[in-house]
């Protein structure tokens, strides 16, 4: 059985994701698709709309065969570390290939770009650091350093978000010396950061979330852009818990952490550096919503995404040491769900897998799973009602891998 891998967040699963899933199967000729999916908190420092179990079921019902959680120590990182963790897990699961969406759509250009930058790695890294010292954001520094190298033609545009991720997927594969073959497909219609609906049936996850959190808060507006299974799952989640998750839900908790912590205590939190802790504390004092706080804190150098990730690590009290201990290599495979095909595949290859497979969190090494357990516990605090908090909290410990038959 040939397995192809995809790296996803599915926040929520929409028609563009379905297109990517189907095209990945076609392009790779795979018998099944394995998705490495972020947990309850995401790469841009956001809480997922619904918990990882609900999103795993969305994926399985849409055609994914195996869903594995990307640990917090990789899922909430900048693109290079995020990609390394995901590609390492796909390689551990014996995938023959992986496929990602991009603005480029040209896999040869990705391979050439990775090769070219590898040749000039020292120069490239020095230029990136120089641009950061000049006050540039990390993504802008990457793009500017790349342009300054003035490499050969026919390379990818590293100012585009999905191109950046795709480039790091290729780099990660090369770094671990994996034999996985890479494929890419062009993103369809909607751009990654589109804020509004620009197509009749495909929209970005950003625009879908914006619609969900609009004044009327209805889900009917997003129905043309998501599979019916996604819409039903979102409706059921809202009915069960009262609301979907967003940063405003966690603002009182974050504000408490900021105001009750000293600058010295904040300084040990992952990604906090260069005195930014003082700015965070001062802006929190006069902010009465997460959006207001973000608008006050962000600068040209400290982007919205970077501030969100800092804020997330403050919320979860994730220190530099705790993160550094756990993001060097994935230490386990957390299985969230599988189809009948995925079950057969896993049974076939499990003797070849060197990482422990964790079906329930209580069976994992407590030290390895510490950050993920803590993240799920904090995620449950978004709801005020104790019974809803308890219900989400129990999911982390009591939910076995979801099985979907086809």
Q: Point out the annotated binding site for ATP.
A: 7-20, 101, 162, 187
CA–chain centroid gap for 38, Å, is: 5
Binding site as annotated, residues:
7-20, 101, 162, 187
Q: In the numeric block, which tokens belong to residue 248?
A: 């405003």
Per the rule left: phi > 0, alpha: psi between -120 and 50, beta: everything else, 54 is alpha
Q: DSSP letter for 137, please.
A: -
DSSP string across 241-296: HSS---HHHHHHHHHHHHHHS-HHHHHTBTT--TTHHHHHHHHHHT-SSHHHHHHH
281, 312, 317: which is closest to 296 by C-alpha?
281
Q: In the numeric block, which tokens belong to residue 20?
A: 């990517």
The answer to whether 361 and 396 are in contact (CB under 8 A) is yes
Distance CA 127, CA 134 (A): 11
* 362-382 core/surface letters (b: 16 or more CB in 10 A; e: else): eebeeebbbbbbbbbbbbbeb
22, 41, 101, 20: which is closest to 371 by C-alpha?
41
What's the sign of the alpha-carbon dihedral 100, 103, 108, 114?
negative
DSSP string across 31-48: SEEEEEEE-SB-TTS-B-
309, 242, 335: which is closest to 81 by C-alpha?
309
What's the sign of the alpha-carbon dihedral 56, 61, 67, 73?
negative
3-state percent helix, strand, coil for the chain, nearest multiple of 5: 55, 10, 35
| Other beta carbons within 10 Å of 223 | 12
Q: In the numeric block, which tokens belong to residue 339?
A: 């189809």
């Amino acid at each position: 059985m040939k397995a192809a891998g995809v790296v996803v967040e599915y926040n929520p699963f929409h028609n563009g994701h379905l297109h990517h899933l189907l095209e990945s199967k076609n392009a790779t000729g795979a018998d099944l698709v394995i998705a490495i999916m972020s947990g309850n908190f995401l790469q841009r420092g956001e809480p997922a709309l619904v918990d990882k179990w609900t999103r795993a079921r969305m994926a399985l019902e849409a055609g994914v065969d195996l869903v594995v959680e990307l640990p917090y120590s990789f899922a909430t990182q900048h693109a290079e570390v995020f990609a390394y963790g995901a590609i390492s897990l796909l390689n551990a699961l014996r995938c023959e290939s992986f496929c990602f969406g991009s603005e480029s759509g040209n896999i040869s250009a990705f391979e050439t770009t990775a090769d070219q930058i590898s040749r000039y790695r020292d120069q490239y890294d020095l230029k990136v650091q120089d641009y950061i010292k000049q006050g540039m954001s990390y993504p802008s520094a990457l793009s500017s350093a790349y342009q300054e190298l003035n490499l050969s033609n026919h390379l990818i545009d590293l100012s585009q978000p999905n191109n950046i991720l795709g480039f790091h997927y290729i780099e990660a594969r090369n770094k671990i010396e994996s034999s996985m073959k890479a494929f890419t497909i062009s993103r369809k219609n909607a751009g990654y950061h589109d804020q509004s609906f620009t197509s009749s049936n495909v929209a970005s996850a950003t625009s879908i979330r914006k619609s969900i959190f609009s004044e009327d808060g209805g889900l009917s507006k997003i129905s043309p852009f998501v599979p019916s299974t996604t819409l039903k799952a979102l409706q059921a989640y809202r009915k069960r818990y009262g609301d979907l998750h967003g940063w405003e839900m966690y603002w009182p908790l974050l504000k408490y952490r900021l105001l009750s912590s000293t600058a010295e205590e904040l300084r040990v939190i992952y990604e906090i550096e260069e005195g930014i802790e003082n700015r965070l504390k001062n802006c929190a004092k006069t902010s009465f919503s997460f959006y207001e706080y973000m608008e006050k804190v962000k600068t040209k150098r400290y982007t919205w995404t970077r501030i969100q990730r800092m804020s997330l690590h403050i919320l979860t009290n994730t220190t530099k040491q705790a993160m550094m201990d756990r993001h060097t290599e994935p230490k386990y495979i957390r299985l969230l769900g599988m189809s009948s095909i995925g079950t057969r595949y896993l049974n076939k290859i499990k003797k070849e897998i060197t990482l422990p497979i964790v079906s329930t969190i209580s069976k994992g090494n407590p030290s390895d799973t510490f950050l993920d357990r803590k993240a799920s516990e904090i995620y449950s605090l978004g709801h005020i009602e104790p019974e809803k908090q308890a219900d989400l909290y129990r999911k982390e410990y009591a939910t076995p891998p979801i099985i979907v038959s086809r």
